[in-house]
Amino acid sequence: MVGMSGKRGNGEGSIYPYKNGFAAYAWVTTPDGKKKRKYVYGKTREEVHDKWIKLHAEAKNGPVATRHRTVSAFLAYWLESIVKPNLAPLSYVSYEGCVRLYIAPHLGTKRLDKLTVRDVREWLTKLTITCQCCAQGKDAKRAPSRRRCCAAGECCEAYASRRVIQAARDALRAALTHAVTEEEIGKNVAALVKVPKPRRRRIKPWSAVEAGQFLADGVTREDPLLAAWVLVLCLGLRRGEVLGLTWKSIDFEAGELYVDHQIQRAGRQILHRETKTEDSDDFLPLPALCLKALRIRRAQQIGDRKASADLWQDSRGLVFTTKYGTPIEPGNLTRMFALRTRRAGLRVIPLRNTRHTCSSLLVALGVHPKVAQRILRHSQIAMTMEVYAEASEEEVRSALGKLSEAMGGTG
């Protein structure tokens, strides 16, 4: 190494004193094919020397950018090259929306390597007091005759919710994590800023009595989605899992159902794709009520196919389809559930809250505890027995009497 004189050693190249430390440069080929100097900086000669060696190695491997990217440029690269090919389509849609609507308009022009904790904190604070109707020009996009708030000079104060702010921060944190991995920056400043957690609205799930009334109403009206509601309430299946079921995934002889696909809307596409993880895939035993409802559904679909004739479109053998055989929109299933709930004269709850009703309904249906344990995915039978102890009242059982009779005495 060199002495205290400050002169560079043999083979060190252009290392020289600079401001409060040292700097160095090497000639590199930029992504657009030009030859340029790329500089590195550090407090000690040793630090700069190490960076200089790495820079030479980079230059030998291929093109090197001489200018640091802006936050917008990095996020565009991250979305296209990292998120799109490697994550679920829904994740891309979510991240892309956060970047376009909330991150890029505020932080996009900043240099990635100069982004600070303070910048991120100030951005999140600004988000809470920025009307998104004004920022995104929502009212301005309407026809002049239909403008009613921000574009008409009356701000509607549509501020971002806690959930939106958390999602925006999480998207930036995920992108910066990748920037750290690629050694573009030294630390993830978004991970160092805390955001208040969104509060969850507690909604009381249906009792087995209410669920029984809902299903009995569906039987009376010959609801083509009856089997979907039965699977949601008795097996605790999610919306996408129910809509993604195919006839191949149902074994009527063994009385089993295999959950491995789901229907999702991702932007402008409806996707029939695998479930999120392998742990989500499962063989579930079908109680008699579920088997009966699925047989009824099969007969309904055959009727729909005959009635629509040439208009029928076969959607990979999906169990639940429109009357023309096309997949059902996930959002439409949610709306249909709310509509049928009101029609049955019941308290409206979100479709996803029906999972909590599943356990008490299995008790009411007289499903064996070992079978219920598999359906509820309890690791210990003691957990299932607790549910059975809580929900074994006689009135709960009798609540499903009407339903059983309407479906031909199915237990």
* DSSP for 187-229, written as a single string: S-GGGG---PPPPPPP-PPPPHHHHHHHHHHHHHTT-TTHHHH
In a domain, residue 314? The reply is yes
CATH number, domain with residue 322: 1.10.443.10
pLDDT computed for residue 119 by the predictor: 95
- 2 vs 75, which has greater pLDDT? 75
Greater confidence (364 vs 398) lies with 364
For residue 4, is it within any domain?
no
Mean pLDDT, range 184-191, rounded to an integer: 87
Helix (H) or strand (E) holding 264: strand 261-266
* Token couple for 113: 């390597």
Q: Rounded CA gap, 6 and 12, in Å? A: 12
| Whether residues 36 and 77 fall in one domain | no
Instruction: Give me the amino acid identity at 162.
Output: R
Last-in-domain residue among 161, 192, 223: 192
Q: Are residues 132 and 212 in the same domain?
A: no
Helix (H) or strand (E) holding 39, with range, is strand 35-42
Q: Is residue 218 part of a domain?
A: yes
Judged against a pLDDT cut of 70, whether residue 331 lies above it is answered with yes
Domain of residue 231: give its range.
208-406
Task: Tell me, yes or no, whether 272 lies in a domain.
Answer: yes
- Are 254 and 356 found together in one domain? yes
Can you give the pTM of this predicted structure?
Answer: 0.64
Is residue 246 domain-shared with residue 170, that is, in the same domain? no
Count of domains in the chain? 3
Q: What mean pLDDT is predicted for residues 83-92?
A: 86
* Same domain, residue pair 173 and 56: no
Domain boundary among 192, 218, 245: 192
Distance CA 108, CA 137 (A): 19
365, part of any domain = yes
Give the position of tokens 């392998």. Answer: 278
Tell me: do 145 and 276 sit in the same domain.
no
In this predicted structure, the answer to whether residue 175 has a pLDDT above a threshold of 70 is: yes
Same domain, 29 and 144: no
Domain assignment present for residue 198? The answer is: no
pLDDT at 266: 64
Query: Measured between alpha carbons, how far is 119 from 103 in angstroms, rounded to an integer?
Result: 12
Give dist(CA 235, CA 321) in Å, integer: 20
Do 99 and 184 reside in the same domain of the chain?
yes
Averaged pLDDT, 121-146? 91
Cβ neighbors of 377 (< 8 A, separation 6 or more) are 282
CATH of the domain at 155: 1.10.150.130
- Tell me if 9 is assigned to some domain: no
Q: Does residue 13 have a pLDDT over 60?
A: no
pLDDT tens string 363-390 = 777 777 777 776 766 667 776 666 666 5
Residue the block writes with tokens 């149902």: 250
> Residue 212: CB partners within 8 Å, gap ≥ 6?
361, 364, 399, 400, 402, 403
> pLDDT at position 5, please?
46
Same domain, 381 and 239: yes
Q: Tell me how far apart the 2 most distant CA atoms of the chain are, in Å.
A: 98
> Are 140 and 31 found together in one domain?
no
Q: Is residue 38 part of a domain?
A: yes
Q: What are phi and psi of 14, to 5 degrees?
A: -90, 75
Per-residue pLDDT tens digits for 236-270 = 888 888 888 888 888 888 888 888 777 667 666 66
* Same domain, yes or no: 264 and 135: no
- Rounded to 5 degrees, φ, ψ at 262 are -145, 155
Same domain, 242 and 362: yes
